[in-house]
Amino acid sequence: MKVQGITVLVTVAVIVAIVAGSVGYIVKPTVAGTTATVTTTAPGATETVTTTAPGATETVTTTAPGATETVTTTAPKPGEGLYFTYVSDSDPADPFQAKIVKGWEAAASMLGVNSVVNHSYADYAYQKDLVDAAIAAGVDGIFIFDVTPDEMHPSIANAVEAGIKVVTMSSRDPGYTPDVVPLVGYGMYDQGYVVGQYLAKTLENGANIVFFCEVFAPYSQGRRGGILGALDDAGITYNELDWFEVGVEYAVVKDTVKAYILAHPELNAVIGLGSLTTPAGGMSLIELGYEPGDIAWAGFDLGDDTVTAIKAGYGAANVDEVFMFGFYGCLTLYLKCEYDLQKGDVTLATAMVDSTNIADFEYWVALGIK
């Protein structure tokens, strides 16, 4: 039976015909999600069921006299009936995306919402099409990894006008305040500034530096700006040799970084601006035979190769709660849909990780959390 509202005490007379007789039994009260053992009793007994969670359901099957049975009471999940879509800017092979999706799916399962993940494979026109398709399908909420906020805004505006809740990460929508379209994450400039402070301790004046990014987008622009801002504030002079867009195929990214390092022996620092360019820089230095400290290396996010390079002493990466991007993205959509509760951005923590503290993070990397 399904009961809505406050705790209800239901007394049900159970009469089961078993060879010209009747058998009844008593069911012990259970809490939603728990189990109870039931023993059949004398014919004509009554069954008493107490439902403690509004909307909880339980199924009881009558057995032979003297037998036992297990009753499980389950409560409906709070997000049942809602439909959310996560529109990724990249692809499932991207380690950063894989952790976001893991968090997204964990929250969706916990809440009971129907959800889907759509990847745009760095095709931003296609990503916009995916958002438009979600709007046309009438979903309740859309979570967007937004790297082209100006181009994406018209689609977000269409979603908002249609009553669909929208949450972004990577970039804040330029047309809405956080009470309407909140951002999960933090300012990319601020995150870059933390990395710049780390580099300022290792670089000398006149350092030759190069930046590698997967794509020219607000995330890479903001991080680069923050790094340079921190170097300026620290009084470190530098020569920015190049700022490269190298794509999202890791093998190609690493080959490009290697070729650049070989062609520029004057380099003092290799800086990755994302989850692919960062490990490519560290592993390139290792594979080319550079010793730790020969060329400074820093970047963002933790993956297997990044952990390897950090443990070997080559540099550091700024780490955030990647799993929580997806988890909070889904949770924030739920809060807005059900209660219109979320009225601002959801800020996540970041930290610099190098050889001195990498051991504290390896467990979480293995779990796909960081």
Mind listing the domains of the chain with CATH numbers? 8-74 (no CATH), 83-186 (3.40.50.2300), 188-321+354-366 (3.40.50.2300)
Q: How many residues does the chain have?
A: 370
**What are the structure tokens assigned to 19, written together?**
């060879």
**What are the structure tokens assigned to 26, written together?**
């008593």
| Per-position pLDDT tens, the chain of length 370 | 333 332 222 222 222 232 233 223 223 333 444 454 445 455 554 444 444 555 555 555 555 666 666 666 678 899 999 999 999 998 898 888 999 999 999 999 999 999 999 999 989 999 999 999 999 999 999 999 998 899 999 999 999 999 999 999 988 899 999 999 999 988 788 899 999 999 999 999 999 999 999 988 888 999 999 999 999 999 999 999 999 899 989 999 999 999 999 999 999 999 999 999 999 999 999 999 999 999 999 999 998 999 999 999 999 999 988 899 999 999 999 999 999 988 889 988 788 999 999 999 998 888 878 7
**Measured distance CA(113)–CA(139) in Å, rounded:** 11
Whether the predicted model's global pTM rises above the 0.85 cut: no
- Strand 207-213 with 238-245, pairing: parallel
Residue position matching structure tokens 């929250």: 107
**Measured distance CA(70)–CA(80) in Å, rounded:** 26
- Residue 82, judged by CB atoms within 10 A of its CB (0-12, 13-18, 19+), counts as buried
Residue position matching structure tokens 């889904």: 330
Q: How crowded is residue 235: how many other Cβ atoms within 10 Å of its Cβ?
A: 8
